[in-house]
Structure 1
Amino acid sequence: MNATTLSVAEPDLGLGMRKTGLHGKLLARGGALAVIAAVAGLAVPYVVPDRYTMGLLLDGIILAMLALGIGFLARHLGLISLGHTAFFGGAAYALAIANQQWGWGPVPAAVFGLAVGTALALLMGLLVVRASGMGFLMLTLALGQALYQFCVQTVARPWTGAYDGLQVQFGPGQTFFGMPVASVMNAALFWPVVWVVLVVAAFALWLLGRARFGQVLEGIRENEERMRFSGYGTFRPRLTAFVVSGAVAALGGVLFALNAAYVSPDVLSFVKAGDSLIAAIVGGLGSLAGPVVGALAYIWAQAQFNTSGNLQLYTGIALVLVLVFLPGGITGGLAKLAVRIKRRARR
């Protein structure tokens, strides 16, 4: 265990933990970077020339919401989840059901979808957060696939549409925070909303990771037994982290359903879970930017190689290359390269 982890694990060093938590300068720096990123991202629709590329970028950052949740758990607790599609797809289905069955408008349906996705994360978390390693991975996969199987059953057809899925159809006079429904389905017009939501979600995860809560999570990751002996309860922090990551994935599902205006069982499938995990690994699990970069790279590669009929082959080769030559992912490799350049410049 490193020195940082030891300072987290020992309750006698509470003063040190407070000093390494959030402070004014760090908060101001992080907030400034978030504002800069948000403002810079708003210029993307003016730079991207065609609708096709704009659509790929939007799909990429929606997938990044799902990958962000997975990366947060992996980075702070060392847990790999294949069940976050349950929250992503559950939120999307909840929005569609609220629209189709009850005639709710875009905003109430979106809030309902986010609430359902977060509630699913809480329920699943109560069952799985005590597990670790392969047991945790398999439990999340099993529960996620159980929800998929339920949605395609005949008994669920009146609500989920089974394999046919559900359309999201809002009335002509309804708006999403002032945006007409047609604008929500337009990638260039909907981009500012999705991008700002992504930046806010990433900033919130950054705050949690930098605060004392994040340090406790890292202590649990390094040595959970020692944390218990030191007087820290480990169940609630693990559950809270799981629910937060699930809420971020659910937020992505809400944005997906609004933009696509259609929800199918694919959003709950094992393929979707694999896509998000691969995106997070390729981008790099060690940083917040990693899942975003990985999701954008994955969507671009999928669009380039999908027509060849060998998409899965190329995906497997790319994953092997990243794991062997870039164990920290794209962002991890870039960070190491930057460190080497700085060292050479000093010499």
Structure 2
Amino acid sequence: MNSMTATSPVAEHLPPAKQVGLTRKLWLSGAVVAIVVAVAGLAVPYVVPDKYTMGLLLDGIILALLALGIGFLARHLGLISLGHTAFFGGAAYALAIATQQWGWGMMPAALFGFAVGTALALLMGLLVVRASGMGFLMLTLALGQALYQLCVQTVARPYTGAYDGLQVAAGGTFVGMTGTTVMNAALFWPVVWVVLVVAALVLWWLGRARFGVVLEGIRENEERMRFSGYNTFRPRLYAFVVSGAVAALGGVLFALNAAYVSPDLLSFTKAGDSLIAAIVGGLGSLAGPVLGALVYIDAQAGFNSSGNLHLYTGIALVLVLVFLPGGLTGGLGRLARAIGKRVRR
């Protein structure tokens, strides 16, 4: 029967099976695009005219790392998290404690902060990834706010400074940069930009690989994936930890640049900022959270000067949800397709 199947004339005329996962050609093309984008972005400090705008851009791409992690989970698993500030703020606090309390230099403290943020993602993931929908959202929010409350307790004041926050003692160097240098937005930009591009490339690779295909299968029908023999818990946990690690990178870079951490990094407001940025940019694409974070930071600066920050933010969010359901990138994609159709006609 096998030999008959192999020589069947029907089988000979069937198209070759489509390869699932990340091919070598796709892997290389993604790497080339990332290198081009990274090099192009390095020119930003030479183009931006003033320090204020440069500071806004730097804040935007640091927030973009937090939004990227949230967008990765939403895109591939359909899960919305409000607890990623635990990894962002946890990494920032770990760095600050290591420099302030233990006298560590910036580089080992940064590695420690990243490790702590990733470990928090693993611990939270073990507790929440079996949930889905509203249950997942509320669990991540509850655990994130529990860390916030722990941080502001009086017993934690010697370590976290409670509501007063904690200064980062900028000793040593970070990738060859001194404490004064990392606080300069224009000089710190190349490091943060390269980290953002590399993080986005890794998430893109994972999403295109077999791992991403499995995640999307779980998103569409987890029960069927279980019946097919897949252990759906582990892929969900791995995806959660990866997204948390990206958020932790943002927390480390924020602490280095600001030289100060406060409970606001763990607050519900910060969680809302990152989620709104991801929604505004568009959860359906990798570039969406990055674009959304940049637009959100710029809009917040403008709205804040008017004295009606929350009012205008709410109105802008409603307009995006109603008229741009796929976010800015979704709207741009529809516009590009419409223009393409007209050109072909």
Which TM-score band (shorter chain)?
over 0.9
Residue correspondence of structure 1 range 170-249 to structure 2 within 5 A = 170-171=170-171, 174-249=172-247
The residue that corresponds to 1:105 in the other structure is: 105
1:188-229 residue CA offsets vs partner (Å, 9 max, x unmatched): 000000000000000000000000000000000000000000
The residue that corresponds to 1:165 in the other structure is: 165
The residue that corresponds to 1:3 in the other structure is: none
- 1:16 to partner: Cα distance: 5.3
**SS of corresponding position for 1:131:** coil
Residue correspondence of structure 1 range 2-13 to structure 2 within 5 A = none
The residue that corresponds to 1:128 in the other structure is: 128
- 1:22 to partner: Cα distance: 1.0
The code of the aligned residue for 1:278 comes to: I
Partners of 1:153 and 1:250 lie apart in 2 by: 23
1:215-249 residue CA offsets vs partner (Å, 9 max, x unmatched): 00000000000000011110000000000000000
Q: Does 1:20 align with 2:20?
A: yes
Residue correspondence of structure 1 range 82-97 to structure 2 within 5 A = 82-97=82-97
The residue that corresponds to 2:3 in the other structure is: none
TM-score (norm 1): 0.94
- 1:257 to partner: Cα distance: 0.2
Answer yes or no: is the 8 Å Cα contact 2:170–2:179 preserved in 1. yes
- 1:25 to partner: Cα distance: 1.4
Partners of 1:115 and 1:169 lie apart in 2 by: 19
Residue correspondence of structure 1 range 1-347 to structure 2 within 5 A = 19-171=19-171, 174-347=172-345
- 1:265 to partner: Cα distance: 0.2
The residue that corresponds to 1:10 in the other structure is: none
- 1:308 to partner: Cα distance: 1.6
- 1:20 to partner: Cα distance: 2.4
Structure 1 spans left out of the alignment, 5+ residues: 1-14
The residue that corresponds to 2:12 in the other structure is: none
Answer yes or no: is the 8 Å Cα contact 2:80–2:136 preserved in 1. yes
The residue that corresponds to 1:4 in the other structure is: none
**SS of corresponding position for 1:179:** coil
**SS of corresponding position for 1:102:** coil
The code of the aligned residue for 2:62 comes to: I
Answer yes or no: is the 8 Å Cα contact 2:170–2:259 preserved in 1. no
**SS of corresponding position for 2:101:** helix
The percent of aligned pairs where both chains have the same amino acid is 83
The code of the aligned residue for 1:34 comes to: A
The residue that corresponds to 2:8 in the other structure is: none
Q: 1:16 to 1:317 in 2, by over 3 A?
A: farther
Partners of 2:83 and 2:312 lie apart in 1 by: 24
Partners of 2:20 and 2:308 lie apart in 1 by: 48
**SS of corresponding position for 1:286:** coil
* RMSD over equivalenced CA pairs, Å: 0.9
Count of residues in Structure 1 that have an aligned counterpart in Structure 2: 330
Bigger-Rg structure (1/2): 2
Partners of 2:133 and 2:313 lie apart in 1 by: 24
1:69-93 residue CA offsets vs partner (Å, 9 max, x unmatched): 0000000000000000000000000
**4+ residue runs of structure 1 moved beyond 4 angstroms?**
none
Partners of 1:232 and 1:255 lie apart in 2 by: 37
The code of the aligned residue for 1:243 comes to: V
**SS of corresponding position for 1:175:** coil
Partners of 2:159 and 2:290 lie apart in 1 by: 33
The residue that corresponds to 2:4 in the other structure is: none
